[in-house]
Structure 1
Amino acid sequence: MFDQFQLSEEHEEIRSAVRDVVEAKIAPFAAEVDAEARFPTEARDALLATDFFAPHVPEAYGGAGADALATAIIIEEVARGCTSSSLIPAVNKLGGLPVQLGGDEEIKQKYLTQLAQGHGFSYGLSEREAGSDTASMRTRAVRDGDDWILNGVKTWITNAGESDFYTVLAVTDPDGKRGNNISAFVVEKGDEGFTFGEKERKLGIKGSPTRELFFDNVRLPGDRIIGSEGQGLKIALRTLDHTRVTIAAQAVGIAQGALDYAIGYIKERKQFGKRIADFQGIQFMVADMGTKLEAARQLTYVAAAKSEREDADLGFFGAAAKAFASDAAMEITTDAVQLLGGAGYVQDHPVERMMRDAKITQIYEGTNQVQRLVMGRKLLG
């Protein structure tokens, strides 16, 4: 009866394989990627070469067919070494999953196949005045014969400019019922009238470009719509139920990396003639960090299993995992900086970067305040 709490041998093998790739080809560039605010091309190439670029894509479309738990483990392990790099598989799932969940076979064959081959996929939902209130978006798509004409702006788009494809949500019936008047489309990087804003200057995840998307009379063929007209927001929110698990996994990975580094440091650093790891107060801090981390990991893995099964209570568990794990990551990385003292505050050590990176996990894919609204509504029915 206890086997349900033990990862399969296959999952453990995946973790080991990803960790080897991260330690050899991703983590060594993490500080440089952060300092130069450049896209981690080394990570992209390494992930693509090992089927970790978009592992969730089904085998039918040329992907690895990794289940939700395996995908979470991959993102966790990459984040342990470099948060910016972990956004490559995470955002590819976020951008591509609407096609997988809501698209017809033709659009799946066209875009999921290319995603598996290395063409990145981003997600265009948020706008300046429509962040948490997504139904208030102003981007519009108007029919023109069999085509659609897209106009508007999307904001806070992760890996914008690097990805080749973008799932974009737009109002297609301005007079329709709120929430049921939005459709989803695939926009290609080379579409005429589609351009990018300047890169945002951010606190963390500096290696992952965040930019606005501008649509100026972008003509989209009719077969670019994902699912039925008016079903876009439902597809988008269903996607988030699944992908919030990946943000929880990312947070767990960041926290693990910070805890690992802090433990290594306090075992070496000496004060008053002994290792600071031997002081009881330090041990209490580490114990609390480890407890929060393992609680976050277990909740994340349960949520991932529910994502794979598409359980009815996934909405609650996805939100709970994302909120709990990201709060834990913020606390753990802050304590890691504290354990290193002054050394933790300088860029010679990675914990200050991890603390900066952890903050965004409390914000994107729905702030943790929104997650608590989701959880409360699920519990109250």
Structure 2
Amino acid sequence: MTFPLNADQTQIQDLVRRIARERVARRADEIDRNAEYPQDMFDLLKELGLFTLPFPERYGGAGSMLSACVAIEELGRVCYNTAYLLLVQWVPFGAILAGGTEEQKERLLPGLAAGELRGAFASTEPQSGSDVARIKTRARRVDGGYRIAGSKIWCTNSHIADFILVAAKIAEEGEAARINLFIVPRGAAGLEIGRKEEKIGARGVPSCPVFLDDVFVPDDGRLGGESPQGFKVVMEAFNQSRPLIGARGVGLAQGAIDHAVDFVQQREAFGRKVSHFQGIRWMLADMQMQTEAARNLVYKAASLVDAGVTGAELAACSAMAKCFASDTAMRVATDAVQLFGASGVSAEYPINRYFRDAKVLQIIEGTNQIQRNIIANSLLGRAPA
């Protein structure tokens, strides 16, 4: 570890690493194989009080994005899905904290912090993933609130969420349509959650389509109230949380290295341990160098958040962290599978799980192509349409 952690962060790292190895690791393969929501792991994270880690102390958190990245990395090192449970809780928390009214914060944040409430975020649509501006879901003003009609896909956690933050376009009279977020409670009339997607990775935290058939949301269900900047504020807040996605990549890469090192030290070929061959040793050296570089970039981005840095500087660094770390996870996991040989493609060994989860991470939470656009824009400005 070359990036300095303070005493509190080191304590969090030691605690989560021990819990991950002793209580999480043994469940990882089963969670992936059965593709069932790991309620026991959610309860464990709730018991540890990790749901507010990156958020202010008033909600029971440490107020540190770096501390949150450390926790995500240690969990992701043994079980991507358990690490994902933290993130899907943090996304609605962060959105409401950044863009919600005081009433909305008081109503929802304590429950999310305690693990008594679960939320989900629904933005992606069949024709608009990265291109959020083209969403077709609409909210029309009616007496006392709004009626929302449309559909979403890849809504993670929606099958158990107590509420879903739904992105929809609304056009007030005399104004151009703009995107807003609406708090749609579970059980709302006209809300339907579809069957979960069969995913190659991230299998333990289901993602489902969401259908909204004229769903009524009262005025106090519009995130941020009447503020026209609500959605923009939330999107900017997501720049601050992007290092968490990178931390998942670092955890995957380090976990793949852990498995690969153990395997090559036990296996023999041509009368020698596989770990004695120079080609193998160099592969592992490259894997560790790439992972350490990714870790330092992720921790730098998290430290910028903790230092209060915002705007273009943070956006670019966060994009680099997410992109580089997830690409590194994919490269390292691919090489780890190669080191396992035929065993690498066998379901009897866990290394293929790291490979599949890493591929997912390159796509979700902002594709790596979009991250490269953000980085290029910081250097060159936006390209003409």
TM range (shorter): over 0.9
**Residue number in structure 2 paired with 1:95:** 92
Alignment of 1:19-34 (within 5 A): 19-34=17-32
User: Do 1:26 and 1:42's aligned partners in 2 also have CA atoms closer than 8 Å?
Assistant: no
**Residue number in structure 2 paired with 1:334:** 334
Q: Closer, same or farther in 2 for the Cα pair 1:162/1:303, shift >3 Å?
A: same
**Residue number in structure 2 paired with 1:311:** 310
Q: Closer, same or farther in 2 for the Cα pair 1:166/1:239, shift >3 Å?
A: farther
Deviation of the 1:141 alpha carbon: 1.2
RMSD, aligned CA: 1.6
**Residue number in structure 1 paired with 2:48:** 50
Deviation of the 1:348 alpha carbon: 1.7
User: Do 2:119 and 2:158's aligned partners in 1 also have CA atoms closer than 8 Å?
Assistant: no
Deviation of the 1:170 alpha carbon: 0.7
Q: Tell me which of 192, 195, 202 is aligned to 1:198.
A: 195
Alignment of 1:78-89 (within 5 A): 78-89=75-86
Deviation of the 1:238 alpha carbon: 1.0
Q: Using the alignment, how far apart are the partners of 1:5 and 1:330 within structure 2? A: 23
**Residue number in structure 2 paired with 1:355:** 355
Q: Using the alignment, how far apart are the partners of 2:267 and 2:67 within structure 1? A: 36
Identity within the alignment, %: 37
User: Do 2:120 and 2:157's aligned partners in 1 also have CA atoms closer than 8 Å?
Assistant: yes
**Residue number in structure 2 paired with 1:320:** 320
What whole-Å deviation, never above 9, does each CA across 1:45-74 have from its counterpart, x for those lacking one?
Answer: 10000012342343323x323411111111
Structure 2: segments with no counterpart, 5+ residues: none
User: Do 1:149 and 1:220's aligned partners in 2 also have CA atoms closer than 8 Å?
Assistant: yes
Q: Using the alignment, how far apart are the partners of 2:150 and 2:309 within structure 1? A: 33
TM-score, structure 2 normalization: 0.93
Number of matched pairs: 375
User: Do 2:156 and 2:208's aligned partners in 1 also have CA atoms closer than 8 Å?
Assistant: yes
What whole-Å deviation, never above 9, does each CA across 1:68-113 have from its counterpart, x for those lacking one?
Answer: 1111111111111111111111111122211111112111111111
**Residue number in structure 1 paired with 2:374:** 374
Partner of 1:362, secondary structure, is helix
**Residue number in structure 1 paired with 2:236:** 238
Alignment of 1:146-161 (within 5 A): 146-161=144-159
Corresponding position: 1:221 with 2:222: no
Q: Using the alignment, how far apart are the partners of 2:227 and 2:126 within structure 1? A: 24
Q: Using the alignment, how far apart are the partners of 2:316 and 2:11 within structure 1? A: 29
**Residue number in structure 1 paired with 2:139:** 141
Corresponding position: 1:112 with 2:109: yes
User: Do 2:99 and 2:234's aligned partners in 1 also have CA atoms closer than 8 Å?
Assistant: no
When structure 1 is superposed on structure 2, of 313-322 and 148-157 the one drifting more is 148-157
Structure 1: segments with no counterpart, 5+ residues: none
User: Do 2:78 and 2:255's aligned partners in 1 also have CA atoms closer than 8 Å?
Assistant: yes
Q: Using the alignment, how far apart are the partners of 1:59 and 1:185 within structure 2? A: 26
**Residue number in structure 2 paired with 1:16:** 14
Q: Using the alignment, how far apart are the partners of 1:256 and 1:163 within structure 2? A: 31
When structure 1 is superposed on structure 2, of 4-13 and 83-92 the one drifting more is 4-13
What whole-Å deviation, never above 9, does each CA across 1:272-321 have from its counterpart, x for those lacking one?
Answer: 22211111101110011001100000000011111222333110011110
What whole-Å deviation, never above 9, does each CA across 1:185-233 have from its counterpart, x for those lacking one?
Answer: 2222232222201100111111110101111222112112222443243
Deviation of the 1:234 alpha carbon: 1.0
Q: Using the alignment, how far apart are the partners of 2:321 and 2:126 within structure 1? A: 26
Q: Using the alignment, how far apart are the partners of 2:217 and 2:182 within structure 1? A: 8
Partner of 2:328, secondary structure, is helix
Corresponding position: 1:68 with 2:65: yes
One-letter amino acid of the counterpart of residue 373, structure 1 = N
Q: Using the alignment, how far apart are the partners of 2:7 and 2:159 within structure 1? A: 38
Deviation of the 1:361 alpha carbon: 0.9
What whole-Å deviation, never above 9, does each CA across 1:228-265 have from its counterpart, x for those lacking one?
Answer: 44324313421331222111011110111110110011
User: Do 1:240 and 1:365's aligned partners in 2 also have CA atoms closer than 8 Å?
Assistant: no
TM-score, structure 1 normalization: 0.94
Q: Using the alignment, how far apart are the partners of 2:188 and 2:75 within structure 1? A: 32
Q: Using the alignment, how far apart are the partners of 2:260 and 2:9 within structure 1? A: 27
